[in-house]
Structure formats: C-alpha cells, structure tokens
Chain A
C-alpha cells in the first residue's frame, strides 16, 4: 500500500535526508523544509520504505503538495 506524504506547510526544501529504498520509522524526517528561518521536518506518518522523492533541494513547495511516496 502506498501513501503520499504531503507538506503541511509552504516552504523551501532545505534537506532531503532520505532516498528511495530507505526504511523509515513513523516520525522520521523524510524531507526538511525551511520556512521563515525555521527548519521544519516533514515526517513519515507510519513506518515503511521511501518509494519516491518528488522534490529537489531548493524547490518551493506549497502546503498540501505531495513531497514523497511511502510504501
């Protein structure tokens, strides 16, 4: 079962600490956004494997936009 991980805030992609194939636990940062001088992790909603990263470092993402796919 795949699940879309969505940005909960508008921001710029600051870091991508994961890559496709990585195992993550619930609460792990899949990507890190920067918004208004703060680093804000976008966390995995549950344990699983990262199937796809949909963003690049430096890219602006809108609230609600899919940033990664978890399976």
Chain B
C-alpha cells in the first residue's frame, strides 16, 4: 500500500511521475534545490520541500536530506526518476531501512547491474550474448594489451563504475593502448572515485537497440518490445523510436528472449532496460542494464498504449503486473526527440540561460514532456534536457511526417537547442528509410 509519493528528481520526469500519482489518487511531494524554487515541478505537487543549494551533490544527490523530507511530509514511497539517485543501491537500501518504499528494483539488483563487469558476467552466465572483451576488471596495461590483441583492435576502454560515456576511450592499435589506459583511468577516478577499467571490442556502425522489461514481486518478468536509440551524441541519445525499423524478426525474437532471461536471472522487479548493440550481420551483444525508468519510456507507452509509470507504482505497492505478454503489442509507431539546451553547431556545448520564448506544438498524437516554461531559468547545475517531443502514427511514415511538422513548430528562444539538428535528422534520407547507426552524428551525417 502506498499513499504519498515523493519524487527525488526535477524537471520533466518529476512532472511525469506526479501525473501518474494523480491518476491513482496518490498524494505527491516535490523536492527542490534553491535553483528550482520557481520550477513547474514544484507547483505540480501537493507539497514541496526545499533540500539545499543548487549543486546536485548538496541537494538532489543528498540522500539524507531527501529521506528527511519524506519523513517530514509522511511520504511512504520515493520515486527516483532517472539520473541522480536512481541507480544508487545504497540509497535504495537506505529507503528500505527507513521503511520507505523505493519505487524501483531491489538494492541488490541495482548494485549487481551497476558494476558493469559484474553485470556482463551475470548476463553471460544467463545466456545473454555480451560484446567480446575482458571478463573482469583489467589489472594493468599489459593485461589490457593482451586482451585487446586476443579480441582484435579497435577496442574500447570503459570504466567499470561508469556510464554515460564517461571515462571511455577508443584504441585503434597496440601502440596507443598505454596512453589511452592512463587517460581513461584518470577520468574514471575523477568521475566515479574508482579507476577500474575493462576492455570491449569496438563494433563498426552498430545500432543501439534496447528492450524494456518489467518484473513483479510474484516473479513474473515480461518485455514491452524494443526501442531503437541509435541517434546519439557523446553516447547520449537524441532520438528514440519503437518499433525499431528494419529489424529482422529473428533478431528481435533473440533480443526479447535474451532480455527476459537476463532479467529473470537477477529476479528483477519493476521497470528496467537491457541495452544491446546490434551489428550489420544481426549479431547482438548486451551492453548494460539500466535499473530504472528510462528517459525514452514514452516511446514504449505510445507504441503499446500502456502506462509504465502507473505500473511502476502498482508493482512497488506489491501488486502483480496487470499485463499478459501476448496482449502487449506495438500498435503504433512512436518516435521521441530530446530537446537539450546545447549548441549542435559548437559540438553540443551546453547553453544555460533563460527561456525568453517557448512555443510547443500540440495536436493529435503529439505528446510533450516538459520541465520548463517561458521564463524558466536553465541552470548550469543539471542535465540540459528541456523537453521531449513524442509523436506517433499508424505507420512509421506517418510518425516521421508528424515529427517533422512538430519540430518546425517548436520555437525556443534564449538558449541554443538541439532542434536544428533534430530537424536535419528527420529530413535525412537514411533516417527516413530507417537505416541508422550509433556513429552517424559523430561522423557528421546531420551537419549543416
């Protein structure tokens, strides 16, 4: 039983969760830093609690402050959103010890999937294909060189504690390994406090395809099909869609089967996503599991007609999943664009400032998930996501046409945004044809 939900987040995702709470008649509590006093998410909730100064580590990452806010307001559950504390197993554990429901998986599942080498080992043991690479953390440069020679250059060095592309380095030949190893270790230490690295084979022009899974406390694990998320910059997604175009049925079948087997192997509860790289030959390899709600979850909601956040709340309250696998069908084609306060003309340099003008499209099959409004300040302290534009259609072609038109009608002034790039993406012949891969943005396919 849950009565009141505190959302330990800000921006569009806090507003999204509050909406689901209202549908179920649950009370809502917002938390906010001093930079977010005037933010829409604060007004959306029944109550709001100030949790500290603007830097995230003094507010949205301060577990003690957030738990205190829950106690003070009588909130009996916390939804972490994405980012911030959402994949922090110690926070999930602290909630449990405080008698507060953490709306997400168990601390154990978060911890095991959060360590990327442990996650690969567990998934491989469950029969999920993984990218060829080191089975565990690399002891030193010599080990890195030996493993890289075995699997063949080019390779990627990655941080074991990492995510979001931080501490990642591509190495093309043996001579470059030592320098890249030292640099990647430094970056990983600075970002995560832990310099452990592992090595993976670098795949040429792979697609990024992920499977949405959902488990309940009775042990049922289902999938909600795939999302294609290949249009990325700096390993961060810009455009996502479901169904994935031109995905052979046999590959899709393999992906969903592997994802469900992987989630079952760790007794996964609540919403999660297994990310895969898919190469041109149809080989697929597990990348990592995100043990939380994804930014791009609305794509799955629009494609299937199901509400993932409502289901998260129900499952967290101990109810069984209200879905049967056979009844979960992609009925529509859905596409999401992320509008970030970044300048695509300057290599996606952040563009903080104040939104002097904001006009958003509306109409049939157009969904906006926004954390901002005209007049909002876009602070330097947080992720630069302004809003998500999600459209759907009976066919992919209809969805693409609707998206192109909706992007034309977005007006954002005061900060630079990714909109000009997104317009070029949806007009690009390869995107229209559904032939995308993860290196297109960096290779300049959508340059002005």
Contacts and interface: CB of A to CB of B under 8 A. Distances in A.
Interface in A18-71: 34-38, 40, 60
B55 A35 contact: no
Taking residues whose C-beta sits less than 8 angstroms from the other chain, chain B's interface range is 10 to 19
B383 interface: yes
Contacts of B381: 12, 36
Interface residues of A, number: 13
A9 B55 CA distance: 17
Contact of B349 (A15, A34, A40, A60): A40
**Majority secondary structure of chain A interface residues (helix, strand, loop or mixed):** strand
Interface in B216-250: none
B380 A10 contact: yes
Contacts of B349: 8-9, 40
Contact of B350 (A15, A40, A60): A40
Contacts of A38: 350
A37 B352 contact: no
A8 B382 CA distance: 18
Contacts, number: 34
B384 A36 contact: yes
A22 to B, nearest CB: 18
Nearest to A58: B55
Contacts of B384: 36-37
Contacts of A60: 380
B352 A35 contact: yes
B341 interface: yes
Contacts of A36: 341-342, 350, 352, 380-384
Contacts of B382: 36-37
Contacts of B350: 9, 11, 35-36, 38, 40
A12 B352 contact: no
Contacts of B353: 10
A11 B342 CA distance: 13
Nearest to A12: B380
Contacts of A35: 350, 352, 380
Given A10-B380, A40-B350, 19 more contacts: A9-B349, A10-B352, A10-B353, A11-B350, A11-B352, A11-B380, A12-B380, A12-B381, A15-B190, A35-B352, A36-B341, A36-B350, A36-B380, A36-B383, A37-B382, A37-B383, A37-B384, A38-B350, A40-B349
Interface of A: 8-12, 15, 34-38, 40, 60
24 contacts: A9-B349, A9-B350, A10-B352, A10-B353, A10-B380, A11-B350, A11-B352, A11-B380, A12-B55, A12-B381, A15-B190, A35-B350, A35-B352, A35-B380, A36-B350, A36-B352, A36-B380, A36-B381, A36-B382, A36-B384, A37-B384, A38-B350, A40-B349, A40-B350
Interface of B: 55, 190, 341-342, 349-350, 352-353, 380-384
Pairs A-B, 7 closest by C-beta atoms? A36-B350, A36-B384, A35-B350, A35-B380, A10-B352, A11-B380, A37-B383
